[in-house]
Amino acid sequence: MRIKNNRSLLTAGALSTSLALLVGCGGSIGDQSNGAGTEGFDYGASQEDVDEVLADLEPVTLDYQAYASSPNADSAAEARAMKDAIEERSGGKITINIHWGESIVSYTEVDSALTDGRLDLAYNIAIYSPAEYPILDNYSKLSHYAEAGPLTGELVTQATMTEAAWNDPEFIEEFTSKGQVPLNLLGSSGNYTLACNSPRSSAEDWAGTQIRIGGSAQVPISESIGASPVSLESGEVFEGLQRGTVDCAWTNLLVAGETGLLEAAPHVTTLDQARTTSVVNIAHVAGSSFEQLPLPYQQIIFDVAGVDWLHGQIEGVMRTSTQAVQDVQDAGGDFTEPDPQIEEQIFEAQEQIVEEMIEDDLVDENLPAQLRENSEKWAEVVEELGYTDDGELSNLDEWYDPESVDFRPLFERVYEEAALNHRPS
C-alpha cells in the first residue's frame, strides 16, 4: 500500500503483494545504529533474558511530551501505558519523564525539540502541519473505510492504518528525513462528529451553518452540505460556540471529552454506518537521541510503542468519549443522525476527495480498495478477539468499562504483522 508524494510508485502488481513478501524488505527503523555495539534481544524474549542483556547498561531518563494536559486526564492513558511498560520491561533502567500538554513546546515546535534534544519522545499532532507532512495528510483523508462502531470502529481503523503506514517506505521517510524515529505513524484520535450549539438535521438546518474545521478534508465536506467552513484556533473554539461566532465544530470525542467542548455544543450529529475522514492524524515519534541509546533500550521502546502505547491511545479515546457522552447528557443535548440526504452528500464528498487525490497522482488508484479489504480483515480479527459494541455511542457510558478492556492482544497481532520488520536490530 502506497501513497504518493510526487514520486514514482510501485507497480500495480507490487501494490497487491502480500505482507509476507514485504517482511523480507528490511525497514529503515531496523537499520538504526546498534547502540555502540551492544547486543540486543529477540522480540518476545523472556524477562530473564532481557535482564541479562541489560545488566551492564547505565540507566537513562527520557523526556516525553504527552497530549494530555495532566496526569489525571482521561487522555493520559497513552502516556501512562507507555511509561509503565517501558520502565517494567527495562527493570527500571529506563525512566520516562512525562511532560503534560504543551509544557515544553507547542505542537508546531515538536519537530525542532526532537532534533535539538529538548524532547526524546513526543506525541506529534502532525496534521497541524500538512505542508510538512503531506503523506500523513493524505492518509488522514483515507481513514473512513471501517464501520462506525463506537468501539470496534476505532480498533479496526487503528489496525488498518497502522498496517498501511508501516508498509509505505515513503511515508516512513517523511519522518526519518526530519531526524525523527517513527514509533507509530498513524495514531487515531477517534471518529469525528459535528458538535453544534443548537439541533440540526435537515438540509435547511445545515445551509449557511458556520462550521469550525479540524482538518483540510473537512473544508469540501462542510461545503457539500451547504455549510461554511471556518478556521479557528483550538483554544478559541469553546468561546466561539458559546457566543455563536461559529454554530458547529468538527470534533473527535478525544478532544471533546478532554476540553468540555460539548458543554457549549451538546447537540452532536453522527453518521450511521460510516466513519469520517481525518481520524488518523497523529504520530508517536522519537528524536535524535534515540540512535545514541543502547540497542536493547531502542528495542524496548519500539516494542512498547507498537503494543502498549496503542493500547493506551485507544483506551484514552474511549475514556474521553465516555466523558463526552456524559457531558452531552449533563448539558441536555442529544446524539442524532442527519437527514439521509445530508449523510449521502458527506459520503460523496469524502469519495470525491479520494478521487481527486488519485487524479492529482497523490494516491495510487488501488489503495482505497486495499484499505477496504484490509479493514474487513481486521474487523474479523477484532471479532475473533471478542471486542464488541454492546450499545450505541449515545449510551457508551452505560456499556463500556475502560477498566475491563485490554487492547494489547489486538495490537500484538498488528505489531507482528506490520511493525516487527522495522524493529531496531
- DSSP string spanning 325-349? HHHHHHTT-EEEPPPHHHHHHHHHH
Are residues 312 and 77 in contact, defined by beta-carbon separation less than 8 angstroms? yes
Q: Which residue has the cell 496503542?
A: 310
Task: Report the alpha-carbon distance of residue 204 to residue 195 in Å, rounded.
Answer: 17
What pLDDT does residue 151 have? 94
DSSP string covering 221-238, please? Answer: HHHHTT-EEE---GGGHH
Continuous H helices in 273-366: 295-304, 310-330, 340-359
CA distance linking residue 237 with residue 231, whole number of Å:
10
pLDDT for residue 15: 30
3-state secondary structure of 407: coil
DSSP string, 26-38: --TGGGS--STT-
**Residues 6 or more apart in contact with residue 165 via CB below 8 angstroms:** 139, 171, 172, 182, 184, 185, 186, 418
Strands 267-269 and 121-124 come out as: unpaired
**Per-chain mean pLDDT for the chain:** 89
Residue 109: all three cell numbers together: 515546535
Quote the pLDDT of residue 14: 31
Under 8 Å between Cβ of 241 and 249: yes
CA 16, CA 18: separation in Å to the nearest integer?
6
pLDDT at 276: 78
Residue 27 makes CB contacts below 8 A (sequence gap 6+) with 166, 172, 421, 422, 423
Q: What is the pLDDT of residues 237-251, one digit of tens each?
A: 999 999 999 999 999
One-letter amino acid at 385 equals L
Q: Which helix (H) or strand (E) holds 267?
A: strand 267-269
Domain map (residue ranges) of the chain: 43-195+270-416
Query: Helix, strand, or coil here: 17?
Result: coil
Q: What is 43-195+270-416's CATH topology?
A: D-Maltodextrin-Binding Protein; domain 2 (3.40.190)
**Which segments in the chain show pLDDT lower than 70?**
1-37, 272-274
